Structure 1
């Protein structure tokens, strides 16, 4: 029992997607490419928004925060995955695992909260256009972002403190790409009842409530748009929230795929593959969705590149 009590001496083994050595170069190149595209794409969105005064609006303020969160989310998991693949090692220290878990929870939930805030922004813009700048004033926008950071900072810290109560065996295997909360709870040697209860409560608060807010916002948006008599007005209203709706569908769609794939197959590999979708693929696609479907962002990117030319 001594090895179990001294959790600071423990290390975990992240099994990853495949044990086949022939696939490791392919996986390394695939994850490296997706990481670079994701980081570069989201960085360009941030630079375009910050450098163009036309985009200094609440919607793009929230978008820049979402892009920053996406960069941090992929940077929390992918670099360690790349190192393990390149060195043919699977180990991660106990401290490193909890650190990765802490930041992963922060940025994954922030994505969720920012999408809900952006849905509220679109609701105000379409349903209350005359009062938009009064309601979505800079003070409220900053407050919403700071509140999101404050809430998840303490919730993630509470998760970590509860994890510190648990004991683990040295060298235990985690059938996942990174240190994920539910996977760690499954391999713990001590009772996880309190941890699981806290997970259920926080999932209800930080997942169900934002989803409910998004559904409510879009139900009101659709209802408001349907009352418009002008076809051009309807198209303009839907086009202003088309990019956000696409990102919401992609984020929650991939999260649902991960849950269903594991619930149906009980395969850790299926869960790992699905988790790649919302932790790597979704942040990579977000910049393309906003740049291809949004004329303002495309124009800002064009002006950014023109200034960069000698």
Structure 2
């Protein structure tokens, strides 16, 4: 109860009542689980979509190879009497024997020609590309940007467009129907020069070159002993591109060569395939020969895949 003071006014009590607090209501925040479900569902759908597209792409890529492998195991009767993906009697070794003995064993000659065109040509072409890309990156000379622009313009020109001019030049030089008619054009690779410059920018720090020059190394020795080992992943990448392109080259040898003993394996198989109407037995030879022609590419990719890892020397200089 309140009391009155001497003046008749109501005195203020000594203690004030505690403020009334409202009872805590229900938590209206959305549970954490509900906010995460849409995100996880969307991530699962996105992942499933990406995996589905990759599966379709892998199936599209591997189905021809699977058909080729199955067809190469069939004899002539099963090849036309069964489905494309249906196994028949196993005659793979008989087909291989027939491929390497047909027409006097010319298929082995075609394989050796392809190895010559692809291996020797790609090694020399890759070395030229790496040296040119290194020079465009590390040296300064007059007309550097314009010359590199011409190299980039060469990437935009399809090889089939310049096949006829190259044939005319080879004819004037007397190189038609020789190994050089296929080897010399394969040495020019503008895309390889571009890749080599990109790899040189990322793999070779300028400090390493300056240190080598201070130690008295010449420019050629610096490139051979310092830069080239650091460019090994780029060298192998360009080599694989060049090797695959040379191995699968068809139109240029078709224009340049008339002698079957100079054919690469792709052109030789095409030659067999053109006579299947009159000689149906060549159909099995063309299929089995195509399977054998794929194996070197698979072996090269598997054997050189360790060189594809990037960043081996990036950041090596502190």
Query: Scaled by the length of structure 1, what TM-score is found?
Result: 0.29
Higher relative contact order (CA 8 A, sep 6+): 1
More helix by percentage: 1
TM-score by length of 2: 0.29
Largest Rg, 1 or 2: 2
